[in-house]
Chains A and B, each alone.
Chain A
């Protein structure tokens, strides 16, 4: 049902894992390793049958990495993304994010973690249609309780960064797909999250705009941001510095050629 199943029997293991997962921060002075997963499983109950969507995922991501998780649909990559994004909790296994163990958190603290640690970029942009680009970017900052003045500076800075300073007051339906995705990226990085988590970010874009968006990801990664991108597209995945492949609930490190 959740990570709790481990706590009794594997108490020692947990301590050990905690040392591994959280130790890097103290060991290196900074935190090189920002995401650490060990033995993550996720089961879904479908009628009488239990479907094992994730079958023990081990994954480590270091600060500043550009990681692509490559897999076909039905491979469990969306479930993995939900767990990475703290939208869902694993059935078993450990997950540390920024040295914090993510398990059994209340909906409220999960919301705080999503707000501060994760910047989501979705395939279908997921912008609020009745709000301007400015308002959309402002939303996570409101949830972060940032003071109004600071918020305004931040929103303007973010929209400048993605090259939409002149489109702040535009509504999503007045923007092209590429522009909308750039608004979404501005929104995702507005709270300066630990991880920029993108789910098929170019899936709804033509190839040219897709490349532009990928260029933006490169730029952000170049500034030291950690990017995790989930995709089924090998070509898109090739933009990443590191690729892991997910197939049938199992993960493996690999090159594009392996696919």
Chain B
């Protein structure tokens, strides 16, 4: 009974109506426009912000547990034995001690005193894709405590000064190191939030060399890599019981940071924030819907005669209702589409200002569109019903 011709005719008529009442239609659509724009913009902005944070954190690797073990007054850090014990925990695919210090590097007779040194082992390179050029440490480098190093971009720029990088000889604390690799610029959270501008450069050396350099025999910081077949939380639990034994259940001897739980926490916050902002924005949609209802009611009473005529010509009540419902939907969807474009535009500008990732959220667009159709149906229903129930005689008589 509702054939395509009727729907097309209703759509065409509603467009004609909207065009012939431009100002009124615009003001009516404004509510929906603002509502949808707010929903889209807020969701997209939140998504952009959290995506940016996630991107940085995921640079650290989701399957990584970071252990910081300053130890107790009885026992500082972790020994090679302790590390070996932790490495035997089920689900651990690798462990990299992290040793960090600042020292002076000498190249070509010039000393640079702001050079950061990090000690890592081969597991580190297996789980962190940081090499740009050259090679990483081999097992032989580790066991033989080879005097090799990997330098970063700042080091190349500030210290090597355009000289041949790979094979360059630098001196650290009196020992001569050969450059075997260059690391990439990292976008991980550590490098993002570590201001390196006041450094001359950074080098990575085998971790035992770094320990020696620091004058220490125990490691206080570790990255533990979890086999992807295992759950981070389970492995974390086992590591804790191992560490508790090592430190005799002492308090505050160590902390474990689980990247996975951090990420899922961020995700939860994102969902919560989206829902909250969506809720606030839907108030605007509600107001917009009432505006549409108002305009449709006015339109029905203005067009009483037309409704009567249509009934006299054979339009069933349901068809009259459908026509006004379609008009309401066209109005709200039209406003919604403008709102979507506006919302995306606002989110785009915001992403530029806040320097976050701009990513179009398809669910948000679908939501915006769905919202506007929903508003059209819900707030168009009553006016359309009223139109369909008009008595044709009374309707025709009204002048």
Residue contact A128 to B312, C-beta cutoff 8 Å: no
Residue contact B314 to A126, C-beta cutoff 8 Å: no
Contact with A along B355-399 (1 / 0, CB 8 A): 000000000000000000000000000000000000011001000
**Count of inter-chain pairs, beta carbons less than 8 A:** 66
Per the bound structure, the CA–CA distance linking A118 and B345 in Å amounts to: 55
B21 to chain A, nearest CB (A): 11
Interface: A88 (CB within 8 A): yes
Partner of B314, one of A112, A130, A131: A112
Interface: A77 (CB within 8 A): no
Among B13, B309, B313, B317, find the residue whose CB has the most chain A CB atoms closer than 10 A: B313
Interface: B305 (CB within 8 A): yes
A148 to chain B, nearest CB (A): 6
Residue contact A143 to B314, C-beta cutoff 8 Å: yes
| Interface residue stretch chosen among B1-9, B333-341, B346-354 | B1-9
Interface: B315 (CB within 8 A): yes
Residue contact B314 to A144, C-beta cutoff 8 Å: yes
From known contacts A87-B393, A126-B305, infer whether A111 and B316 are also in contact, taking CB-CB under 8 Å: yes
Per the bound structure, the CA–CA distance linking A43 and B317 in Å amounts to: 25
Determine the chain B residues whose CB is within 8 A of the CB of A85 once the complex forms: 312
Interface: A120 (CB within 8 A): yes
Residue contact A82 to B310, C-beta cutoff 8 Å: no
Per the bound structure, the CA–CA distance linking A187 and B1 in Å amounts to: 21
Contact with A along B15-35 (1 / 0, CB 8 A): 011001000000000000000
Residue contact B313 to A143, C-beta cutoff 8 Å: yes
From known contacts A88-B393, A130-B16, infer whether A114 and B317 are also in contact, taking CB-CB under 8 Å: no
Q: How large is the interface on B (under 10, 10 to 19, 20 to 34, 35 or more residues)?
A: 20 to 34
In the complex, residue of chain B having the shortest beta-carbon distance to the beta carbon of A143: B314
Contact with B along A21-44 (1 / 0, CB 8 A): 000000000000000000000000
In the complex, residue of chain A having the shortest beta-carbon distance to the beta carbon of B303: A128
Per the bound structure, the CA–CA distance linking A213 and B310 in Å amounts to: 23
Contact with B along A109-133 (1 / 0, CB 8 A): 0011011100010100010101100
Per the bound structure, the CA–CA distance linking A233 and B375 in Å amounts to: 52
Per the bound structure, the CA–CA distance linking A15 and B398 in Å amounts to: 39
Interface: A60 (CB within 8 A): no
B232 to chain A, nearest CB (A): 63
Interface: B183 (CB within 8 A): no
Residue contact A108 to B305, C-beta cutoff 8 Å: no
Interface: A205 (CB within 8 A): no
Partner of A143, one of B13, B306, B315, B396: B315
Interface: B319 (CB within 8 A): yes
Per the bound structure, the CA–CA distance linking A35 and B393 in Å amounts to: 21
Residue contact A191 to B305, C-beta cutoff 8 Å: no
Residue contact A108 to B396, C-beta cutoff 8 Å: no
Determine the chain B residues whose CB is within 8 A of the CB of A140 once the complex forms: 313-314
Residue contact A108 to B9, C-beta cutoff 8 Å: no
Determine the chain A residues whose CB is within 8 A of the CB of B314 once the complex forms: 111-112, 114-116, 140, 143-144, 191
Per the bound structure, the CA–CA distance linking A82 and B394 in Å amounts to: 11
Partner of A87, one of B6, B13, B312: B312
Per the bound structure, the CA–CA distance linking A154 and B231 in Å amounts to: 73
Residue contact B313 to A187, C-beta cutoff 8 Å: yes
Residue contact A112 to B316, C-beta cutoff 8 Å: yes
Per the bound structure, the CA–CA distance linking A28 and B396 in Å amounts to: 38
Closest 5 CB pairs of A and B: A115-B314, A143-B314, A111-B316, A140-B313, A108-B316
